Amino acid sequence: MSTGTGRQSRSALSWWLCCAGIAGAIAATLLAWPTARGAQPAAPPARAAAAAGLAQWKVDAARSSIRFKATQAGAQFEGRFARFTPDIRFDPRDLARSSARVVIDVSSVDSQSGDRDAALRGADWFDPKRWPTAVFEARSFRAQTQAMAPAPAGSGSFVADGQLTIRDRARPVRLVFTLRTAADGTRTLQGQARLSRLAFGLGRGEFESTEWVGDAVTVDVTVVSR
């Protein structure tokens, strides 16, 4: 009897160890295998930069601006967007992990003409009731070759290649900018981009002709960070 009981005990123990080994292997496989439920989606550039330790700029809204220049009836006019939200995590010493994303409230357009502003907020132009925001997101940064003496620490000239989305159109846009860092640590970014309004579907119907409103638009960006 004792011999039989011993064999049964050893068999039960072997069976338990076998099951435990299989369960452990399955658990290890599940832990190592990123299933659809457990896999983490790729982080957007801004979040990836934050996770990597690049600090978000504390933007001084009162001293920052997005302005534009265009032509109407052969004459140049200027305007601005009064409301925009920048998320900038830019370090000239670490361009690979730097990022920038700017969300613009297109209903805040101000072209210094009430009639023109009403038209720009209409369905033929920005149409903020359907597309309330425009978004620029930088995809990569690179430093421009310095032809003169080296810039002060934290300063320089750069190029940001990114994507601008207006209405339902997303197009590549290049922003060329300079960065100046003052002795007190205040950073001033000043940049410019040139784009085609028609490429973004701005100006429908009769406004698709450039006879009345020009196609070229120059955008000037100033961001001051404390």
State the pLDDT at residue 26.
33
| pTM (predicted TM-score) | 0.75
Does 15 lie in the same domain as 49?
no
State the pLDDT at residue 155.
84
- Average pLDDT, 10 consecutive residues per value, the chain (226 residues): 42 36 35 33 47 84 98 97 98 96 98 97 98 98 72 82 98 98 96 98 95 97 96
Residue type, 121: R
State the pLDDT at residue 211.
93
CATH of the domain at 135: 2.40.128.110
State the pLDDT at residue 45.
52
Does 155 lie in the same domain as 98?
yes
Does 128 lie in the same domain as 172?
yes
Does 118 lie in the same domain as 194?
yes
Does 120 lie in the same domain as 12?
no
State the pLDDT at residue 220.
98
CA separation, residue 20 to residues 28, 31, 191 (Å): 12, 16, 63
- Residues with Cβ within 8 Å of residue 6, at least 6 apart in sequence: none
Does 70 lie in the same domain as 15?
no
Torsion angle defined by CA atoms of residues 74, 218, 117 and 113, in that order, rounded to the nearest 10 degrees: -60
- Residues with Cβ within 8 Å of residue 23, at least 6 apart in sequence: none
Domain count, the chain: 2
State the pLDDT at residue 53.
72
Tokens of 215: 């196609």
Q: What range defines the domain where residue 56 resides?
A: 45-225
Does 102 lie in the same domain as 31?
no
